[in-house]
Amino acid sequence: MMRRRLAAVVVVAFVVVGWAGGDAAPPVGATTVRVVSHGSRTRPEIALTFDDGISPANCRRILATLVEDGVPATFFPIGEAISLDPPFWRLVAQAGDPVGDHTWSHPQMPTLAVAEQVAQIERARKAVEAATGQPILRVFRPPYGAYDAATLDAASQAGFDTVLQWDTSDRDTSPRGTVAEMVKAAEAGTNGSVILMHCGPNPTPWLLPQVIADYRARGFDFVTVPKLLGMAWSPGPTASLTPAQILDGLPSLPPTQTGGPVTGPNGYALPSATPSSTPSATPSPRATPTPASSATPRPTPTAHPSSRVSPSPYSPSPSSPSTGPSPSAAPVGSPPPTPVAGPSSAVATTGDTTELIALGILVLLVLALGLVLALRRGRVGGTR
C-alpha cells in the first residue's frame, strides 16, 4: 500500500512540474530575451552604433561620412527626436542601415512600471517605422544602458528579444574630453566590438573619419548590428546616395569641435518649435574651423545654411529622476556603465517565476510524502 501511495505522489509531482514549467508551451510573455554587448570575438568585425538623433545637422554629417567611406552602421534614435528631421531617417533606410529602438523620450527605464516601459518602446517603434517606411530592427537599446528585470519583460512584450549594450564608447557626450581623447577611446575596440557613438554632440562628426581609417588600417571590417549578432535582417529598398544629397547644403563638419546637444541623466523635452529640415535659401558664410586634434577631417565648405545649425533641441527637465548610470557623466575612456539591477547572465527568461512556483510545489509534495511515511512508521511501531 505504501509503495502505491509513493508512486502516486511522484506521478502527481511530475505532472504538476510538467504543467507549470516543463517542456510544455510556455505561458504568454514567457520569452527569452538576450542582453548582449558584443559579437563574436573570433572575427575582425566592428559595429558602429549611433544613438539619440537630437542634432539633425550632425546626424546628416555622420551619415554623409558613412556613405562616402562605404561604412554600414546601426542607428538608435529617440522616438520624439525623429520629428526634428523626418526626411533624414528615410535617407538612413535608403542607405541600407538598420534602425533600432531607443525609447520615445529617453527615460531611466528602471524608474518606470512595466506598462510604461512597454509604451516607451512601442511608441518609438511606430515613429521609426513611420519615418523610415521600413520595419524596425527588433533590437532595443535602453537609455544610459540602464535596465532591470521589468525592462526585459517590457522588451519581450513589445516584441524585442535582443537588448543591446556596448563594450566600447567614444565618450562623445563627455564635456571634458577632447577629440583626440575620444578617438583614442573609440579605437579601444576589438573583434566583435559594439561601439557607442551619438548623433548629437559636435565632436562626433570630427572624429568619425579618423576612427574609420584607423580600424581599417588594423584590418577590421565594419558591419551592422544584425550582421554582427547573426540576426536575420534585410534592408528594404535602397538607393545610391551621395554625401552632397545627405548634407543638403550643410558643411561636412560642425563649426566647432566642442558643444552640440547631448543627452544627460535628467531627461529631456522637445522644444516648442522644431528646426526646419530644409536649408534656408540664403546660406550665411562661416570660416573653416582649424582642427585641434590628430583627427584628419574632410575639407569644410565655406558656407552653410544658418537655419540648420541650431542650439540643443532638448533642454533638461529637473523633474525627471536620475537613478541609473549615464555615459555622459563618465570620463573619457572609462568602461561602459553597469546595468541597473540587471541579470548577471547574458540571457534572461521572463517565465522564470513559473518555474520557481513549480519547484515550490514539488518541494511541498516531497515534504508531504515524508510526513506520510513518518506517520505510517509510527502506527506500525505502535502495534508491535
Lowest mean pLDDT among 316-330, 333-347, 352-366: 316-330
Question: What number is the average pLDDT over the span 306-312?
Answer: 29
Which residue carries 541597473 as its cell? 340
- What's the burial of 317, exposed, middle or buried (CB within 10 Å: 0-12/13-18/19+)? exposed
Residues with Cβ within 8 Å of 108's Cβ and at least 6 positions away in sequence, in order, are 143, 144, 146, 265, 267, 320, 321, 322, 323, 324, 340
Residue 176 pLDDT: 87
Q: Is the pLDDT of residue 5 over 70?
A: no
Q: Give the angle subtended at the CA of 194 by the CAs of 242 and 230, to the nearest 5°.
A: 85
Residue 218 pLDDT: 98
pLDDT in tens, 36-66: 999 999 999 999 999 999 999 999 999 999 9
CA distance 96 to 85: 18
Question: What number is the average pLDDT over the span 206-227?
Answer: 98
Residue 14 pLDDT: 45
Contact (CB, 8 A) for 220 and 44: yes
What integer best gives the mean pLDDT of the chain?
76
pLDDT band at 122 (very low <50, low <70, confident <90, very high): very high
Please give the residue that has the higher pLDDT: either 200 or 337: 200
pLDDT in tens, 163-178: 999 999 999 999 889 9
Please give the residue that has the higher pLDDT: either 309 or 157: 157
Residue 1 pLDDT: 55
Lowest mean pLDDT among 169-178, 253-262, 286-295: 286-295
Domains of the chain: 2-23+365-383 (no CATH), 34-348 (3.20.20.370)
Q: Is the pLDDT of residue 287 over 50?
A: no
Please give the residue that has the higher pLDDT: either 128 or 287: 128
Residues with Cβ within 8 Å of 1's Cβ and at least 6 positions away in sequence, in order, are none
Which residue carries 537630437 as its cell? 54
Lowest mean pLDDT among 15-19, 189-193, 283-287: 283-287
Residue 263 pLDDT: 78
Q: Is the pLDDT of residue 242 over 90?
A: yes
- What's the burial of 378, exposed, middle or buried (CB within 10 Å: 0-12/13-18/19+)? exposed
- What's the burial of 115, exposed, middle or buried (CB within 10 Å: 0-12/13-18/19+)? exposed
CA torsion 231-232-235-237 (nearest 10°) is 180
Q: Is the pLDDT of residue 280 over 70?
A: no
pLDDT in tens, 78-119: 999 999 999 999 999 999 999 999 999 999 999 999 999 999
Q: Is the pLDDT of residue 77 over 60?
A: yes
Residue 262 pLDDT: 86
CA distance 71 to 270: 31
Q: Is the pLDDT of residue 127 over 90?
A: yes
Question: What number is the average pLDDT over the span 285-298?
Answer: 34
Count of C-beta atoms within a 10 Å radius of residue 320: 17
Q: Is the pLDDT of residue 76 over 60?
A: yes
Residue 333 pLDDT: 40
Which residue carries 530575451 as its cell? 33
